Structure 1
């Protein structure tokens, strides 16, 4: 199918911001083995159609562009997270994992009725987790029992759970979250309100979650999505991500969030995002844990 046909079949939302066409080369050089632990692939829509129930239609952003960015930024591996615009159709994710030649792992979206054969195929492709999304502007959350059934299905595979929620959701979902028996990775620090203090009630509750429940991890990603101050330095987010890196050095991950879905105000320069890493992880030891040791332990522990 031609590019023209693709665009006529899936026209991006009118206010959709495409990913940065020429990100800068970062001054910070990631250590050998560094992992971009949160990124996505979108389509291309002619091969991997977007889900009918999607809440947004993006521009195509496929595996070739993702892997080119990986190399440009100086990373070695990726963790590719299933995008909500693809629903539970993981074909674009699996295609990217197969093409990565072991240099990528995946986080899938599955339904409670997923078959054992489908789970086995996802595992063979490199999937090591499922994602539960509770952000209502993106999905309609299901009852708690629905998610528990999925956890029961993935238990024998040794997968973990990735959770996406807004800061206001943490207190009402506390009992559900803390009932999960797996490792749980929270996307983007639980989306804190960065106009409040780091030690304030909201982010304090999130830090309590990590402190009292050692199976919880956090991605210290997406300053561009959380910031009020804005680019290039996102200074209002740095204290939050830095606090988690210092307090929980063995349970933090970092990722670009490329191609930055549903950004409204601006599209970040991925090279500039990489250059923020030394500000949140100021020592070589912290950077190695954040970018190499932690993601390898979580996603490649079954590989020598």
Structure 2
């Protein structure tokens, strides 16, 4: 008998207003909306079941943080049903764009429809705990099909696997975005060789973009995430024009739920350079995702 997918932690409902004031048009470049399940059912065979984290809560979070724009990434719990993302985009007045989950069952017309609805790329998850890794032959076929749409691929790895994929990534014909600092682990389990490969890839391949996100996933010590700061600084220095920031709200599959105010304020320790913060929060996502 199949075991039900475990229910994960809900987000912290008491978002702290951050001390760091975000610049106008700040973009949360990695965030999710879950449900409500009555409208957007969770997928059969999912690896986890979230608490609903619907659009009104999403908007309330960004109001407290001072975020104006967002790129909503469809999470694995919604499977290949992208309506939770495209409906939010349609209601946003141009403030939201999205990343879809697709596979080879999508027709070219369906992919074009997603592009018209504000989808800018598609995500592939190589993290074992979230299910089987993508078939690489199918992955390459999808890459060729999305290339005319101007899309990129969004990739979620475990750090120890990054070196094995460097050759594949360098050979991609489209831009690619790596989630959550490549999944590196701070503290005693630090993935030193994998992180060096990641920094070199980011510095040397202009198709590579990095989400400097997920300190709550990376940190061994927890908030205020001081042990993550050196890794973020290295990545920002490697490619200041190809780094992105986001909350990852509502933080699926974390062991300790963060407060999103802390996830804004830690960036003040990544850099005190106003121009670099402007690039990270505003200019880089505007360029990659093609906000109006």
* Structure 2 residue 229 is matched with structure 1 residue 238: yes
Please give the secondary structure, in 1, of the residue aligned with 2:97: strand
Structure 1 length-normalised TM: 0.91
- Residue by residue over 1:211-230, the C-alpha shift from the partner in whole angstroms, topping out at 9 and shown as x without a partner, is 22111010001100111011
- Residue by residue over 1:133-169, the C-alpha shift from the partner in whole angstroms, topping out at 9 and shown as x without a partner, is 1001002112211111111111111011111000111
Between the aligned partners of 1:154 and 1:143, the Cα distance in structure 2 is 17
- Residue by residue over 1:50-96, the C-alpha shift from the partner in whole angstroms, topping out at 9 and shown as x without a partner, is 11021000000111111111111001100100101011111111111
Between the aligned partners of 2:191 and 2:272, the Cα distance in structure 1 is 20
* Structure 2 residue 190 is matched with structure 1 residue 207: no
Tell me if structure 1 keeps the 8 A contact 2:184–2:191.
no
Tell me if structure 2 keeps the 8 A contact 1:198–1:239.
no
The 1:42–1:12 alpha-carbon spacing in structure 2 relative to 1, beyond 3 Å, is farther
- Residue by residue over 1:72-129, the C-alpha shift from the partner in whole angstroms, topping out at 9 and shown as x without a partner, is 1001100100101011111111111111111011000101231122112211211001
Tell me if structure 2 keeps the 8 A contact 1:12–1:58.
no
Between the aligned partners of 2:158 and 2:5, the Cα distance in structure 1 is 25
The 1:199–1:224 alpha-carbon spacing in structure 2 relative to 1, beyond 3 Å, is closer
* Structure 2 residue 90 is matched with structure 1 residue 101: no
Unmatched segments (≥5 aa) in structure 2: none
Structure 2 length-normalised TM: 0.95
Tell me if structure 1 keeps the 8 A contact 2:40–2:83.
yes
Between the aligned partners of 1:12 and 1:176, the Cα distance in structure 2 is 32
User: CA offset at residue 300 of structure 1?
Assistant: 2.0
State how 1:249-264 maps to structure 2 within 5 Å.
249-264=240-255
| Counterpart residue number, 1:115 | 107
* Structure 2 residue 282 is matched with structure 1 residue 289: no
Tell me if structure 1 keeps the 8 A contact 2:89–2:118.
yes
Between the aligned partners of 2:129 and 2:219, the Cα distance in structure 1 is 19
Between the aligned partners of 1:96 and 1:281, the Cα distance in structure 2 is 32
| Counterpart residue number, 1:271 | 261
| Counterpart residue number, 1:79 | 71
User: CA offset at residue 287 of structure 1?
Assistant: 0.3
| Counterpart residue number, 1:6 | none
Q: How many residues align?
A: 289
Between the aligned partners of 1:74 and 1:247, the Cα distance in structure 2 is 27
* Structure 2 residue 6 is matched with structure 1 residue 13: yes
Among 182, 186, 197, which residue is 1:194 paired with? 186
User: CA offset at residue 199 of structure 1?
Assistant: 10
* Structure 2 residue 270 is matched with structure 1 residue 280: yes
Q: What CA RMSD, in Å, does the superposition of the two structures yield over aligned residues? A: 1.7
Between the aligned partners of 1:203 and 1:189, the Cα distance in structure 2 is 9
Please give the secondary structure, in 2, of the residue aligned with 1:52: coil
Tell me if structure 1 keeps the 8 A contact 2:184–2:190.
no
